[in-house]
Amino acid sequence: MQWAASWAAPLGVRGRALPRAPSRRLSGSQTKILGRDRVKLMESLVVGDIAELRPNQGTLSLFTNEAGGILDDLIVTNAAEGHLYMVSNAGCRDKDLALMQDKVRELQSRGGDVGLEVVDNALLALQGPAAAQVLQAGVAGDLRKLPFMTSAVMEVFGVPGCRVTRCGYTGEDGVEISVPAARAARLAEALLANPEVRLAGLAARDSLRLEAGLCLYGSDIDEHTTPVEGGLGWTLGRRRRAAMDFPGAAVIVPQLKGQVPRRRVGLTCEGAPMRAHSPILSAEGAVIGAVTSGCPSPCLKRNVAMGYVPPEYSQPGTPLLVEVRRRQQEAVVSKMPFVPTNYYTLK
């Protein structure tokens, strides 16, 4: 998912290794879906079961096309205030908005009650084992009651109207804070006043999301990748699978029980780091796929990557070769996440 490039300006809290890198202000695309037919709108575009979401519960979902390809990945939350709150990749903002606007016009032409509101907020991602402890000092509510993939609107360090969502793109506990753009710098400064908090740039976030086995949109998944190929079949709601009423269902649903031409896998190797577009070869030297993301793992002290290979080469432990700098080196298919995730649940 392209959170690493466009989801939120990241702040790190000490825990897993955070390699230093310059930070820049970034924001995902935030939208409210309004009206009685808001769920109908979203379910006409995404693969998830939006109707089953409890108040303030969110889910990762996917925009798909009729060929089964992934147009974007996004988080949809059933806001208790009576709308759906959606955050998608800023790099896909224009095409996502056009997709939704076209569907809104279609539903409205048939008497549907639905509308869109683009939210001009910034996003700050506070990530790490101590994230909740740091944030608790600036909010009135008990964050222990806010588990992974739930959210609430609250005042944060004196800034009203912030939506705090227990999620992130690092595999660690943390939150993403939707904050009015004019108050974003003030809130960031308030968080950075705690000595446990550091600015963390895109290189830090990319290594963390890769260690957690999370996709980057445009690299690991795109409009030519189906959810099943990308290891995201779990995002398909059970009811939606049975109804086959989302774009590309005729292609995607049969793949859940049938054969797919390729699968996303994790890879580890010694030597030079594997990078995007590095060819993946069988042990006999035949090119069978390509790396989509790769970097040295600060936590594991070895190189990790993701890529696509035919199903017969996708089992963990399968020995392969990867071509790096025109040299072949040994690699092994590995289970993901490479580093265990640490999401906060109430279990």
CATH number of the domain bearing residue 329 = 2.40.30.110
User: What CATH number corresponds to the domain at position 120?
Assistant: 3.30.70.1400
Residues 166 and 311 reside in one and the same domain: no
What distance in Å separates the CA atoms of residue 28 and residue 58, rounded to the nearest whole number? 16
pLDDT per residue as tens digits for the range 255-294 = 999 889 999 999 999 899 999 999 999 999 999 999 999 9
35 and 136, same domain (yes or no): yes
Is there a single domain that holds both residue 186 and residue 275?
no
Q: Are residues 198 and 266 in the same domain?
A: no
What is the domain range of residue 296? 261-337
Residue 241 lies in a domain: no
Do 179 and 32 share a structural domain? yes
Binding residues: 176
Residue 250 has a pLDDT of: 97
Asked if residue 48 lies in contact with residue 245, where contact means CB atoms within 8 angstroms, the answer is: no
**Exposed/middle/buried for 286, CB within 10 Å: 0-12, 13-18, 19+?**
exposed
What is the pLDDT at residue 199? 94
In a domain, 136, yes or no: yes
- Domains contained in the chain, number: 2
Note whether residue 3 is domain-resident: no
Spatial distance between the Cα atoms of 297 and 304, rounded to a whole number of angstroms: 6
Please say whether the beta carbons of 134 and 13 come within 8 A: yes
Q: Are residues 143 and 291 in the same domain?
A: no
In-domain check, residue 143: yes
272 and 200 inside one domain: no
Q: Single out the residue in 150, 179, 210 at which a domain terminates.
A: 210
In a shared domain, residues 34 and 168: yes
Same domain as 155, residue 96: yes
Does pTM surpass 0.85? yes
Mean pLDDT by 10 residues, the chain (347 residues): 38 49 52 98 98 98 98 98 97 97 98 97 96 97 97 98 96 97 96 95 92 98 98 98 98 95 97 96 97 96 97 98 96 98 90
Q: Which of 150, 178, 210 is the last residue of a domain?
A: 210
> Do residues 54 and 139 both lie within one domain?
yes
How far apart are the C-alpha atoms of 5 and 280, rounded to whole Å? Answer: 25
Question: Can you give the pLDDT at residue 3?
Answer: 27
Q: Which residues are annotated as a binding site for substrate?
A: 176
Quick one: 274 and 164 in the same domain? no
**Do residues 266 and 334 make contact, with C-beta atoms less than 8 angstroms apart?**
yes
Residue 248 located in a structural domain: no
Nearest to 181 by CA among 94, 89, 90, 119: 119
> Where does a domain end: 144, 177, 210?
210
Residue 219 lies in a domain: no
Q: Determine the Cα–Cα distance for residues 187 and 262; give it in Å rounded to an integer.
A: 44
Residue 272 lies in a domain: yes
Residue 59 lies in a domain: yes
Tens digits of residue pLDDT in 72-107: 999 999 999 999 999 999 999 999 999 999 999 999
